[in-house]
Chain A
Amino acid sequence: MSVNMSSNNKGAGVMSQNQHAAAMETIRLTKTYADQQALDGVSMRLEANRIHGLLGRNGAGKTTLMSIATAQLFATSGEVRIFGQNPYENREALSRICFIKESQRYPEVFNVNDMLAVASTLYPNWDAAFADRLVEEFRLPRRKKIKGFSRGMLSSVGIIIGLASRAELTLFDEPYLGLDAVARGLFYDRLIEDYAEHPRTIVLSTHLIDEVSRLLEEIHLIDGGRLLLHEDTDSLRQRAYTVTGPTAKVNAFIASRRSLKCEALGGSAQAALLASSPTEQAEAKAAGLDTAPLPLQQLIVYLTGQKESDREGLA
């Protein structure tokens, strides 16, 4: 017991020293398949002890990025660092990660109990009582073979493992496919509660942004294998806004600014913008336009729906 205590304390000490260290870092990461470029020189840094959103459309390269970060896939070029180390065949670095993959397959004979037994052996910070509670809450059968689970039940298994592992770096790749609203709500609540008690680095990769946006502290937007944008969620929220007013006035206002989308309806128009300066929204009001915040979901849709040529210099 005393050995455990001291090792925990040591862990905490190291963590506080490295408060601003990167949990995960990629340097010009590129992955090329015969038929496609999955990642195209992605350099990103995920600060430790925060909740990161890895956003982008299906096929943007999110899963590829995380598979390389966890040494399951090999990069064509570039580097990955997990807490400063190369993860390939690196027990030290790998033992600090938990990666919950949407397409995860389990051995044919495995049930939930088998999975929990393996997880408790594997993860140093595994909380068995928490896992048991989650199994109850997500109403998972313990003895039924996972092979026969529905999409939603499979997602629940991943969520339980991911949360109860308390891994220093926990990656969730599309964790709630097939889950109903109640179960999704349960996931968000337990994630926030547990994160508050046990701070760690969490990455949520998803293309469904609206529900999770309140959880995310930083947003990394990937599109077509490239990092399009990395920003603090709050600052991004403040920058994204819409202006509404007479078409002529709206057009005049957006002419010199970065507009993402402009729709005219009758004599009036609405434009979505990403502000370049903090005074921009005040300027819009001064020009006689109504302003309103633009939801993140909408912002991401506009950003990733754009053509290649329109989004230069955004990141």
Chain B
Amino acid sequence: MNRGLKSVIMMYRRDLFSWIYLPWMIMLSSFVVNLIIATSMQEEFTTGGLLSIFIYIYIVGLVTVNQTFSFALSLCISRRDYFAGSSLAIVVIALFHALLMTIVASIEKAVGSWGGMNFFVLPDTSDGPAWQTFFVFFIALLLMFFIGFASSSLSRRFGKKGNFILYGGAFVLGGGLTTIASLRGWWTPMYEWFIDLQPTLAGIMSVLLVFSAVLALLSWLMLRRSAVRA
């Protein structure tokens, strides 16, 4: 491993609080609040508290380029090493979180629920075998990170103008298409087409994994041509 790559990984290692501890602190505080609510409820329920870690990882993906890209470049680290080091770091971080979440989910499955509350076991996603749950968590974390990372790479490369065109364009295009779809009555055929595909969890996860890889590739292509103005 070359020095530039090692240094980028070191940058992430020096901030374990943001990458490892804080998301669990947020998630566990949600867990505790829900546990208190569970004691006063009669029927079983599933919380959405697990989402907090995915939203958190999206946000750190969003801010990390701002925090570390210009810093790494000013240390004369190549863009390639920055990208490779960041990607490697997030894979390890996602592996760690996914593993821990899978362990806790397995415990939850074994005991049934936490006083009537389901937190880590979600129907049709993390209620299968442990290996499946692990991959669901891992891929979802990776995807959330790279959505944020690609978005901030876009800001790095094209500035405000880039964001305006992307989100403005998506809004206009999306609005136009949904209007046309409603007017022409395309929704029902689209829904039927999707059901006809008989989507499986494995299939959806594979698509999301590919989508993450595409976002990573786009991020790299944008960072490659990004400058740091003094």
Contact = CB atoms under 8 A, between A and B. Distances in A.
Interface of A: 63-64, 67, 70-74, 89-91, 94-95, 97-99, 101, 103-110, 114, 117-119, 121-124, 173
Given A72-B227, A107-B67, A107-B71, 9 more contacts: A70-B73, A71-B76, A91-B80, A95-B3, A103-B230, A105-B70, A109-B15, A109-B18, A122-B77
Nearest to A101: B74
9 contacts: A89-B80, A91-B78, A95-B3, A98-B76, A101-B230, A106-B71, A117-B10, A122-B7, A122-B75
Contacts of B184: none
Contacts of B3: 95, 121-124
Nearest to B81: A91
A251 B77 CA distance: 56
The 6 closest A-B pairs by CB, nearest first: A122-B7, A72-B228, A114-B14, A94-B76, A63-B230, A121-B7
Contacts of A108: 67
Given A118-B10, A121-B10, A72 B4 contact: no
B61 to A, nearest CB: 15
Contacts of A109: 14-15, 17-18
A91 B4 contact: yes
Contact-residue size bin, chain B (C-beta under 8 Å from the other chain): 20 to 34
B74 to A, nearest CB: 6
Interface of B: 2-4, 6-7, 10-11, 14-15, 17-18, 67-68, 70-71, 73-81, 224-225, 227-230
Nearest to B15: A109
Nearest to B2: A91
Contacts of B10: 117-118, 121
Contacts of A106: 71
Main secondary structure of the interface of B (DSSP, over half): helix
A98 B77 CA distance: 10
A312 to B, nearest CB: 30
Contacts of B68: 107
A72 B78 contact: no
Given A94-B76, A94-B78, A109-B15, A67 B71 contact: no
Given A72-B227, A99-B74, A104-B74, A121 B17 contact: no
A94 B4 CA distance: 9
A87 to B, nearest CB: 8
A105 B229 CA distance: 12
A103 to B, nearest CB: 6
A221 B228 CA distance: 24
A121 B76 contact: no
Contacts of A104: 74
A107 B15 contact: yes
Nearest to B9: A121
Nearest to B80: A89
Contact of B77 (A63, A94, A110, A117): A94
Contacts of B73: 70-72
Contact of B4 (A63, A105, A122): A122
A89 B6 CA distance: 16
A86 to B, nearest CB: 12
A95 B76 contact: yes
A73 B228 CA distance: 6
A118 B11 contact: yes
A70 B71 contact: no
Contact of B227 (A73, A94, A105): A73
Contacts of A173: 230
B11 A89 contact: no
A101 B10 CA distance: 21
Nearest to A93: B76
B227 A74 contact: yes
A70 B71 CA distance: 13
Contacts of B229: 67, 73
Contact of B228 (A67, A89, A90, A121): A67
Given A105-B71, A107-B71, A64 B78 contact: no
B71 A97 contact: no
Contacts of B76: 70-71, 94-95, 97-99
Contacts of B77: 94, 122
Nearest to A94: B76
Contacts of B74: 70, 72, 99, 101, 104
Given A72-B228, A109-B17, A118 B78 contact: no
A117 B70 contact: no
B17 A89 contact: no
B227 A118 contact: no
Contacts of B11: 107, 118
Nearest to B224: A89
A91 B74 CA distance: 14
B15 A121 contact: no
Contacts of B224: 89
Contacts of B15: 107, 109-110
Contacts of A107: 11, 14-15, 67-68, 71
